[in-house]
Amino acid sequence: MVQLVIAFIILIAAAVLAGRVSRVKPRSLGHGQASESDRQQAAKSIRGLSSAIALGGVGIAVAIAATSCVYSLDVGEVAVIRNLGGSVSGSQSEAGFHAKAPWQSAIKYDTRNNLINFYGDTDYETTGGSEVGKQVSINDKSGASANIDIQVNYSLRPNAAVSLYRDYGSQENFVSKYISNDLRSVTREIAGKYDTITMLTDRGSFTRGVQKALSEKWKGMGLTVEQVSVQDVRYPKEITSAYAAAQSAEVQKRKASNEQETAKVEAETKRIKAQGEADANDILNSSLSENVLRQKYIDALSNAKNLTVVPDGSVPMVQTK
């Protein structure tokens, strides 16, 4: 539309200039001393110059107007075609050059992976479907406050561009008024379902919760959540210090518990070993009957060498020199 206005202005300017040139009188060029043939030649030159200005203006105006009838799309872009009165006549998502009426506008949306990145004290800046901004402040289920750095990659389905334009206008307006606010509100909502310990130790559960909530909420808008990444969860120092102390105490507790379990196992091993020895002795004692002992005695005598046997009850006499 801008090109069409420029072309119209150039056309008007060329017509005015050509008219003024055509009204120039040949006698003013000769100061009364030029011949009739010179005046005729001058008049002819003036007419030629006037025609050249008019034709040049028309050519430039047509060229500029022609550019307003053509627009191009890159891969990953969709254009919403807007009429002069503000109505929408359709959309186009095929890459390449396309034609439209001079009074129509092609409003482009980026359908490729867009990034919303909130971190630190960053100033807000929106470019197409992407935005950077300040960290998200939350209160968890335990009532503790924290600041979260979070990134979301999302893409836009081309067939949703027309409805988004009708509701929000440009893509930058849609991002700043809808996407940005949604991400912040969902992050705070999901954080309120997790206690401090979970937020500090199980960031993956919180991340999955945010991605699931965003996917369900944005599905009807024609948006697809590609990935959610929680870069950092920052609690006040007193909370992180208390958590570190609790973790240290837990480590010591588990260490003591492991040592107790080890002592119990060792004691049980000794008891089982002693019980086994006692049981073996009982079995051995119960098996040593009088007949068994007598037989062992006889076996020992049979295998002995240089042995003198003395009958029971006798007093042996040993001769010495």
Series of mean pLDDT values for 10-residue runs along the chain (321 residues): 60 61 55 59 63 63 65 88 86 86 85 92 92 95 93 93 91 92 95 91 93 94 94 88 65 68 79 77 67 68 65 60 55
> Token digits for 223?
């948006």
Give the model's pLDDT for residue 255: 64
Give the span between the Cα atoms of 26 and 35, in whole angstroms. Answer: 11
**What whole-number distance in Å separates Cα of residue 225 and Cα of residue 114?**
10
Report how far residue 95's alpha carbon sits from residue 110's, in angstroms, rounded to the nearest whole number. 12
Tokens of residue 171, six digits: 């893509």
Residue 227, Cα to own-chain centre: how many angstroms? 4
What are the residues whose beta carbons fall under 8 Å from the beta carbon of 114, sequence distance 6 or more?
A: 128, 129, 130, 153, 154, 155, 156, 175
Rounded to two decimals, the pTM is 0.59
Three-state SS sequence of 261-321: HHHHHHHHHHHHHHHHHHHHHHHHHHHCCHHHHHHHHHHHHHHCCCCCCCCCCCCCCCCCC
Q: Residue 127 is inside which H or E element, if any?
A: strand 125-127
User: What is the C-alpha to C-alpha distance for residues 109 and 93, in angstroms, rounded to an integer?
Assistant: 9
Residue tagged 């500090």 (tokens):
200
* φ and ψ of 220, to 5 deg: -70, -15
Which helix (H) or strand (E) segment holds residue 130: the answer is strand 130-133
* Bridging pattern class, strands 114-118 and 130-133: parallel
User: Where do we find the tokens 């001079």?
Assistant: 102
